Amino acid sequence: MQRTLITGGAGFLGSHLCDRLVAEGHEVICMDNFITGSPKNVAHLIGNPHFHLIEHDVTNYIYVDGPLDYVLHFASPASPIDYLQLPIQTLKVGALGTHKALGLAKAKDARFLLASTSEVYGDPLVHPQPETYWGNVNPVGLRGVYDEAKRFAEAMTMAYHRYHGVETRIVRIFNTFGKRMRLDDGRALPTFMGQALQGHPLTVYGDGSQTRSFTYVKDTVEGILRLLQSDVVEPINIGNPDELTILDFAKEIIALTGSTSKIVFELLPEDDPLIRQPDISRARTLLGWQPQFSRAEGLRLTLDYVREQLRDLGDGE
């Protein structure tokens, strides 16, 4: 049985990876300090003999008894609200946390996978964004705490690969959605759905012409695991190239929910990227991967989850 450690395993993406790997027969060690993740995301796995939950801050020394085959480093605040409220913690987990996780992978002779992000491209001057693009990032801007943390983490990962010979993989994850997203995490999809279902106005920043590309979580998980099992060392984009404006996305959510909500506009946040679309040529060629879920199908599945969360809160429909 293969043993896998997932840092940030009680977060949105981490918990879906826990599900998938446990189902595939791995022994999974989920490590999280619950700063943005939640034990509720993996509660259904408690009691499974192949699943272990450890509360730990990975910016401190990481101890895991016994062998490890894989270390998947997903610990980090990942939404603008979270990393703007937790700037020091975000920088520390990108730097110290990545260092500690790489050190563990080296000690255990385990393959290491870094969860990086499309944010390393900043507000891109190249469109769509290929992995060869170096980015346009403001290192001293508000978003720099997340962007530069991930850029440093990529550099540290490649240093461990080149200097120590650690088997490493880097995935650059574009906007992903699905169940277990927090409704208050500030991302467009849960925010729009929550607002629409409660009959509140949908908040669009700027004029809404900025673009995003949304990937359903099952597609993202599949891409990550294909990369993990591949021999590709250079970064790989995992995302859906189906791009649309935020204004059109808000209108799509209103139509999907049957809401009568209006759209209101607010000032665009500092350094908010104006375009975001992955070039997935490398993923298609090297991993044989591309999204299988349409945005419409993914949104229908996610809407059921958001409705359930609002019912639990005693709000919504």
CATH 3.30.390.50 assigned to 178-212+242-277+294-312: no
Cβ(40)–Cβ(64) below 8 Å: no
Residue 271 pLDDT grade (very low, low, confident, very high; cuts 50, 70, 90)? confident
Residue 219 pLDDT grade (very low, low, confident, very high; cuts 50, 70, 90)? very high
Question: What's the CA angle centered on 116, arms 110 and 120, to 5 degrees?
Answer: 145
Total-model pTM? 0.96
pLDDT tens digits for range 106-123: 999 999 999 999 999 999
Tokens read off for 251: 């209108």
| Distance from C-alpha of 148 to C-alpha of 154, rounded to nearest angstrom | 10
Mean pLDDT score of the chain, rounded to an integer?
96
Q: How many CB atoms lie within 10 A of CB 314?
A: 6
The predicted structure's pLDDT at residue 312: 84
Quick one: average pLDDT of 131-147? 96
The predicted structure's pLDDT at residue 314: 74
| Distance from C-alpha of 212 to C-alpha of 276, rounded to nearest angstrom | 5
pLDDT cut 90: percent of the chain above it: 95
The predicted structure's pLDDT at residue 316: 46
* Catalytically annotated residues: 146
Please state whether beta strands 51-55 and 70-73 pair in parallel, antiparallel, or not at all (unpaired).
Answer: unpaired
Helix, strand, coil percent content, the chain, rounded in steps of 5: 40, 20, 40
Question: How do the domains of the chain map onto residue ranges?
Answer: 3-176+215-238, 178-212+242-277+294-312
- For residue 317, pLDDT beyond 80: no
Give 200: exposed, middle or buried? Use CB within 10 Å, 0-12, 13-18, 19+. Answer: middle
Query: Could you tell me which CATH class the domain 3-176+215-238 is placed in?
Result: alpha beta
pLDDT tens digits for range 18-49: 999 999 999 999 999 999 999 999 999 999 99
The predicted structure's pLDDT at residue 277: 97
pLDDT tens digits for range 222-252: 999 999 999 999 999 999 999 999 999 999 9
